[in-house]
């Protein structure tokens, strides 16, 4: 009957204050998994973070030699701690590592612990001091379900044990399990050796006598609050029995499970109980298991070759623990430690982070890193630990006991998961290797073989969650032939002995098949430093020498064999090579600069020299990578020859293609386009330039000014003996605008009048950034602009010279329209305003009103028609809003009489002129057009 169990890995030392993760509830299940009920597991208790200042009730202190037992120095050290914390402190016993265990009369809180440690570490008589931490089983609780032993088979996460058992089943090897002890189990009893109970505190050992020769698991059940406030009660985990069964459950007995090393023996060392176990008890257990002496204990008659530590704490490796591990390693015992179940870097978990341990992560049936497993650079290998996230059938089958507190007599099994389960799988394989390796059975060789044969799936443990060398493969690890001698044939060398070429060592017919090869290339019989790969690229230093290669075959067992090939022929130099013929950039014109582009010659770096050629002959002194074309080159072609040289290589030459025939450079002068207002006035001017002729529509045209319309393209080309200088403009295209103003269309009011204004040159409007011209008909007209319009309307008199002194105080001689304004004043068209200070002003920025416009035009007319009779207006005004007394009544009446302005028809039928309104640019155009064209 299989019971499903999951015990959560604490992987922590209870550096005082850390609470153990205890086993979940367990109930018997039917033998058939399909009929098995899913039972809830006991909730896992919370865990406080471990730390050096957490609460504790014991310390491990290593005194210096000067503080001998019974000395005043030692007594003073103990008294000092007692005074500092205000609690009596007893020196209760020695550890196997030569340290002492000190115990206060009560558990110290975190502050008191820190104070005591500080006092001890500052004591000159103390070599080191640390909390006597508690460690806990490294496993985890889950729903009970039946699970098969996939971990021993061919699953991606399995160890492939059947193939390994043909070599050995671990006979003669003792595996120590430092854990909760052992229970009687029919699948284990025959493989259990007399061990020892290392629990020194009777209050926790539950057998009333502290350390004794009976490693029986008395149960690690706890009552609520026993291991800390808020920690719930939990049943016994029988963790030591689980671990022992994975390692060495008996096979072929018709019951239960198969162990990884079913013929190995288990040495149970009890160091964990309720609320975990003290570090001092655990380390004494490690040393005793490895054959070391522990004060007050008998010698271990069956020293272990493998020690399993499925326990841990989240802290650095302590000095006490490292000492114990190093001792065991020195005796020839492989120490295997669970990496921890916190899903964090194993570097934070002890003892997995100690030196000289094999740190084991957990993988699932799929081969992927288990989601709970610790990981990282501290991990050496991975082994089956199970993942019961989906089903307990993916857990690890373990031996178990149905007692909830003390053990009961029964044959029980469960499904479990955790790095507590992964570590004993690795310990079992270590036992197989210890049995198989014979004289080579050392911890280092065991670890090396495990790593060398592990299944390193790239997808299984992805950075940063790496799992060392990969998942263990027992068949591969045990697949070697210790009694086979290496034999082989002399290696050969493939490849041509020319510098720069690659040579390869050819190794054939070497046996047996598990040989690892190494290589050493030699020049004239002397080893070449760093040349230790299967291939070698011949270097310049090899020219004139012969090469050989020594191949060494090595195996996990037996002596290595080395053989040296016959030497190659004398290494010959090779020519340097160019990627292509040199390419010349630049223009072949007199004064132009040409540049040779040779590419990267191989093997880089190659020294390059240059010789420029004129019509195939060398040009004296032209030996740089660039060349300035001279008049002597005119009418000839140029080329460049590049020579590459390199020590121990043959030189080589490459010559470029010839340039075009050298000519005199010609620079086309630009074509000028004049896009005047209105299509009839557009022109373009073709210039004259030496060595250049211009073409329009493919025909040569002489230098001249031509009428332009539509789109005109002018191109240029060199005449005989010339070449157009590269980078200069050689083609010009221009589209003449047939529109006078781009914002005036046939639908625009006064479009005829506005276009006439532009065509007559009275206004050019504004040219925008895109080259279009606009009139802006709705803008008002300023007085200075009106002066310019009237001046141009009069034909822009060329005989007028503006006076040196302005007629208006507000119009300086530098004003843009000074000439036009002074002309207006000279002709009497505008006198401006006399100000209070008797100066005259023009007010150029003021807008022109309609009545002022009438006056300007009337006076302009009189100027252009001297001697004309003065206009006599009618007695009746033509406009309802212009009385006969209006200042400009005569001028406005004249405007109406000439048909220049008809005013507006109002809704009441009257006609108005609106004299005070500012005149707009389109209205101004209409007035001027009618004034100039209609009369």
pLDDT value of residue 67: 67
How many CB atoms lie under 10 A from the CB of residue 624?
Answer: 14
Q: pLDDT per residue over 192-213, tens digit each?
A: 999 999 999 888 889 888 899 9
Q: pLDDT per residue over 512-544, tens digit each?
A: 888 899 999 999 999 999 999 999 999 989 999
| Better-scored residue on pLDDT, 482 or 409 | 409
Q: To the nearest 10°, the Cα dihedral for 156, 158, 160, 161?
A: 180
- Residue 254, Cβ density class (10 Å: 0-12 exposed, 13-18 middle, ≥19 buried): exposed
Please report which helix (H) or strand (E) contains residue 561, including its range.
strand 561-564
Handedness of CA 744, 746, 750, 756 (dihedral sign): positive
Cis peptide before 497 (omega within 30 of 0): no
Q: Which of 446, 520, 513, 516 is nearest to 477 (CA)?
A: 446
pLDDT value of residue 147: 43
Q: Which of 10-19, 305-314, 810-819, 858-867 has the lowest mean pLDDT?
A: 10-19
Q: 123 to each of 85, 239, 471, how far by Cα in Å?
A: 15, 40, 47
Rounded to the nearest integer, the mean pLDDT of the chain is 88
pLDDT value of residue 136: 65
> How does residue 1 score in pLDDT terms, banded at 50, 70 and 90?
very low
Q: Which of 349, 398, 401, 353 is nearest to 372 (CA)?
A: 349
Q: Residues 57, 132, 179, 281: which is the catalytic one?
A: 179
Q: Residues 3, 185, 239, 815: which is the catalytic one?
A: 239
What are the structure tokens assigned to 913, written together? 């002129």
> How does residue 877 score in pLDDT terms, banded at 50, 70 and 90?
very high
How many CB atoms lie under 10 A from the CB of residue 814?
Answer: 7
Task: Report how far residue 212's alpha carbon sits from residue 132's, in angstroms, rounded to the nearest whole number.
Answer: 20
- Residue 176, Cβ density class (10 Å: 0-12 exposed, 13-18 middle, ≥19 buried): buried
CA angle, corner 807, sides to 804 and 810, nearest 5?
Answer: 105
Q: Which of 2-6, 786-790, 916-920 has the lowest mean pLDDT?
A: 2-6
Whether the per-residue pLDDT at 140 is higher than 50: the answer is no
What are the structure tokens assigned to 552, written together? 């060494």
- Could you tell me the domains of the chain? 2-45+137-478 (3.40.50.200), 59-132 (3.30.70), 492-564 (2.60.40.2700), 583-655 (2.60.40.2700), 664-735 (no CATH), 851-919 (no CATH)
Task: Report how far residue 794's alpha carbon sits from residue 534's, in angstroms, rounded to the nearest whole number.
Answer: 101
Task: Report how far residue 42's alpha carbon sits from residue 785's, in angstroms, rounded to the nearest whole number.
Answer: 100
Q: Are 538 and 499 a contacting pair, CB within 8 Å?
A: yes
Whether the per-residue pLDDT at 619 is higher than 50: the answer is yes
Please report which helix (H) or strand (E) contains residue 485, including its range.
none
Q: pLDDT per residue over 634-693, tens digit each?
A: 999 999 999 999 988 999 999 999 999 999 999 999 999 988 776 667 899 999 999 999
Task: Report how far residue 441's alpha carbon sits from residue 20's, in angstroms, rounded to the nearest whole number.
Answer: 36
How many CB atoms lie under 10 A from the CB of residue 759?
Answer: 15
- Residue 384, Cβ density class (10 Å: 0-12 exposed, 13-18 middle, ≥19 buried): buried
DSSP state of 754: H
Task: Report how far residue 341's alpha carbon sits from residue 140's, in angstroms, rounded to the nearest whole number.
Answer: 8
What are the structure tokens assigned to 543, written together? 């020219």
Whether the per-residue pLDDT at 27 is higher than 70: the answer is no
Q: What is the number of helices (H) and of strands (E) in the chain?
A: 16, 48
Task: Report how far residue 589's alpha carbon sits from residue 836's, in angstroms, rounded to the nearest whole number.
Answer: 75
Q: Are 561 and 490 a contacting pair, CB within 8 Å?
A: no
Task: Report how far residue 612's alpha carbon sits from residue 592's, in angstroms, rounded to the nearest whole number.
Answer: 14
Task: Report how far residue 548's alpha carbon sits from residue 492's, in angstroms, rounded to the nearest whole number.
Answer: 9
Total residues belonging to the chain: 935
Whether the per-residue pLDDT at 922 is higher than 50: the answer is yes
In sequence order, the 6+-apart residues with CB closer than 8 A to the CB of 82 are 88, 89, 104
Whether the per-residue pLDDT at 42 is higher than 70: the answer is no
Q: Are 248 and 264 a contacting pair, CB within 8 Å?
A: yes
pLDDT value of residue 138: 56
Task: Report how far residue 298's alpha carbon sits from residue 239's, in angstroms, rounded to the nearest whole number.
Answer: 26
Handedness of CA 156, 157, 159, 161 (dihedral sign): negative
CA angle, corner 71, sides to 65 and 73, nearest 5?
Answer: 75
Whether the per-residue pLDDT at 492 is higher than 90: the answer is yes
pLDDT value of residue 118: 85
Q: Residues 26, 280, 310, 420: which is the catalytic one?
A: 420
Residue 304 CB-half CA count within 13 A? 35
- Concerning whether 239 is annotated as a catalytic residue, the answer is yes
Task: Report how far residue 505's alpha carbon sits from residue 4's, in angstroms, rounded to the nearest whole number.
Answer: 57
Q: Which of 464-468, 714-718, 920-924, 930-934 has the lowest mean pLDDT?
A: 930-934
In sequence order, the 6+-apart residues with CB closer than 8 A to the CB of 454 are 381, 382, 468, 469, 470, 471, 472, 473
pLDDT value of residue 839: 94
Whether the per-residue pLDDT at 179 is higher than 60: the answer is yes
E strand residue ranges, 296-379: 306-309, 311-312, 334-338, 357-363
Task: Report how far residue 354's alpha carbon sits from residue 347's, in angstroms, rounded to the nearest whole number.
Answer: 9
Q: pLDDT per residue over 345-396, tens digit each?
A: 999 999 999 999 999 999 999 999 999 999 999 999 999 999 999 988 899 9
pLDDT value of residue 137: 67
DSSP state of 276: B
Q: Are 550 and 562 a contacting pair, CB within 8 Å?
A: yes
DSSP state of 547: E
For the chain, what is the radius of gyration of the CA atoms? 54
Q: 698 to each of 666, 667, 693, 719, 724, how far by Cα in Å?
A: 20, 20, 11, 15, 18
Q: Which of 23-32, 111-120, 343-352, 737-746 has the lowest mean pLDDT?
A: 23-32
Q: Helix 110-122 and helix 72-85: axis angle, to 10°?
A: 150
pLDDT value of residue 142: 33
In sequence order, the 6+-apart residues with CB closer than 8 A to the CB of 817 are 784, 785, 787, 788, 844
- Mean pLDDT within 772-798: 92
How many CB atoms lie under 10 A from the CB of residue 464?
Answer: 9
């Amino acid at each position: 009957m299989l019971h499903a169990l999951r015990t959560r890995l604490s992987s922590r030392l209870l550096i005082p204050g850390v609470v153990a993760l205890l086993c979940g509830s367990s109930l018997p299940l039917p033998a058939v998994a399909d009929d098995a009920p899913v039972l809830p597991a006991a909730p896992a208790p919370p865990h406080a973070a471990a730390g050096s200042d957490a609460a504790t009730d014991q310390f491990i202190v290593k005194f210096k030699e000067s503080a001998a037992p019974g000395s005043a120095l030692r007594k003073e050290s103990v008294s000092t701690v007692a005074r500092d914390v205000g609690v009596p402190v007893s020196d209760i016993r020695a550890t196997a590592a030569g340290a002492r265990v000190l115990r206060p009369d009560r558990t110290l809180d975190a502050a008191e612990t820190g104070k005591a440690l500080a006092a001890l570490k500052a004591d000159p008589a103390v070599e080191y001091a640390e909390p006597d931490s508690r460690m806990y089983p490294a496993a985890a609780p889950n729903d009970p379900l039946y699970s098969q032993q996939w971990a021993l088979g061919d699953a991606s996460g399995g160890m492939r044990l059947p193939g390994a058992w043909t070599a050995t089943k671990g006979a003669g090897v003792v595996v120590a399990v430092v854990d909760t002890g052992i229970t009687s189990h029919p699948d284990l009893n025959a493989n259990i050796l007399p061990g020892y109970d290392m629990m020194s505190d009777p209050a926790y050992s539950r057998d009333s006598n502290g350390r004794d020769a009976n490693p029986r698991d008395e149960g690690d059940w706890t009552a609520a609050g026993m291991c800390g406030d808020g920690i719930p009660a939990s049943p016994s985990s029988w963790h030591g029995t689980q671990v022992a069964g994975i390692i060495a459950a008996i096979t072929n007995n018709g019951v239960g499970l198969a162990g990884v090393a079913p013929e190995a023996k288990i040495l149970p060392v009890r160091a964990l109980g309720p609320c975990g176990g003290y570090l001092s008890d655990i380390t004494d257990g490690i040393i005793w298991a490895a054959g070391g002496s522990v004060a007050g204990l008998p010698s271990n008659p069956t020293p272990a070759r493998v020690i399993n530590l499925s326990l841990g704490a989240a802290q650095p490796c302590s000095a006490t623990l490292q000492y114990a591990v190093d001792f065991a390693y020195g005796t020839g015992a492989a120490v295997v430690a669970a990496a921890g179940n916190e899903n964090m870097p194993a570097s934070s978990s002890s003892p997995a982070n100690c030196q000289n341990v094999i740190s084991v992560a957990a993988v699932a049936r799929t081969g992927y890193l288990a989601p709970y497993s610790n990981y990282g650079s501290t991990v050496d290998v991975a082994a089956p630990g199970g993942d019961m996230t989906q089903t307990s059938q993916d857990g690890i089958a373990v031996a178990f006991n149905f007692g909830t507190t003390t053990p009961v007599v029964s044959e029980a099994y469960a499904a479990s998961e955790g790095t507590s389960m992964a570590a004993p799988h690795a310990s079992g394989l270590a036992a197989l290797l210890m049995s198989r390796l014979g004289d080579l059975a050392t911890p280092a060789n065991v670890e090396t073989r495990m790593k060398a044969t592990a299944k390193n799936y790239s997808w299984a443990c992805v950075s940063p969650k790496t799992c060392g060398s990969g998942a263990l493969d027992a068949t591969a690890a045990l697949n070697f032939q210790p009694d086979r001698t290496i034999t082989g044939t002399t290696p050969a060398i493939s490849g041509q002995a020319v510098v720069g070429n690659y040579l390869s060592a050819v190794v054939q017919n070497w046996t047996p098949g598990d040989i690892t090869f190494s290589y050493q290339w030699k020049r004239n019989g002397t080893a070449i430093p760093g040349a230790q790969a299967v291939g070698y690229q011949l270097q310049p230093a090899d020219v004139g020498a012969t090469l050989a290669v020594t191949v060494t075959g090595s195996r996990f067992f037996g002596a290595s064999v080395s053989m040296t090939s016959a030497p190659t022929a004398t290494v010959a130099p090779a020519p340097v090579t160019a990627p292509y013929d040199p390419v010349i950039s630049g223009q072949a014109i007199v004064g132009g600069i040409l540049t040779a582009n040779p590419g990267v010659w191989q093997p880089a770096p190659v020294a390059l020299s240059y010789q420029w050629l004129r019509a195939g002959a060398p040009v004296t002194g032209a030996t740089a990578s660039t060349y300035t074309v001279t008049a002597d080159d005119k009418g000839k072609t140029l080329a460049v020859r590049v020579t590459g040289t390199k020590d121990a290589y043959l030189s080589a030459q490459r010559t470029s293609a010839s340039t075009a025939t050298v000519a005199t450079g010609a620079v086309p002068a630009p074509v000028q386009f004049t896009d005047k207002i209105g299509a009839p006035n557009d022109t373009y001017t073709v210039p004259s330039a030496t060595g250049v002729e211009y073409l329009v529509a493919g025909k040569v045209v002489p230098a001249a000014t031509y009428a332009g319309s539509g789109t005109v393209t002018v191109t240029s080309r060199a005449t005989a003996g010339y070449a157009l200088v590269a980078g200069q403009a050689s083609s010009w295209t221009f589209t003449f605008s047939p529109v006078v103003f781009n914002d005036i269309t046939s639908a625009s009011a006064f479009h005829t009048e506005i276009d006439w204004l532009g065509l007559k040159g009275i206004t050019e409007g504004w040219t925008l950034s895109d080259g279009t011209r606009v009139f802006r008909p709705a803008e008002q007209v300023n007085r200075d602009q009106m002066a310019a319009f009237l001046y141009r309307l009069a034909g822009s008199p060329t005989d007028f010279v503006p006076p040196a002194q302005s007629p208006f105080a507000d119009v300086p001689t530098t004003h843009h329209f000074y000439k036009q304004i002074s002309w207006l004043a000279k002709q009497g068209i505008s006198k401006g305003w006399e100000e209070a200070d008797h100066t005259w002003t023009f007010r150029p920025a003021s807008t022109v009103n309609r009545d002022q416009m009438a006056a300007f035009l009337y006076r302009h007319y009189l100027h252009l028609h001297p001697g004309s009779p003065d206009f006599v207006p009618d007695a009746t005004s033509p406009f309802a809003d212009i009385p006969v007394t209006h200042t400009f009544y005569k001028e406005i009446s004249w405007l109406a009489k000439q048909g220049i302005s008809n005013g507006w028809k109002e809704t009441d039928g009257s006609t108005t002129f609106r004299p005070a309104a500012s005149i707009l640019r389109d209205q101004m155009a209409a007035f001027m057009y009618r004034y100039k064209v209609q009369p």
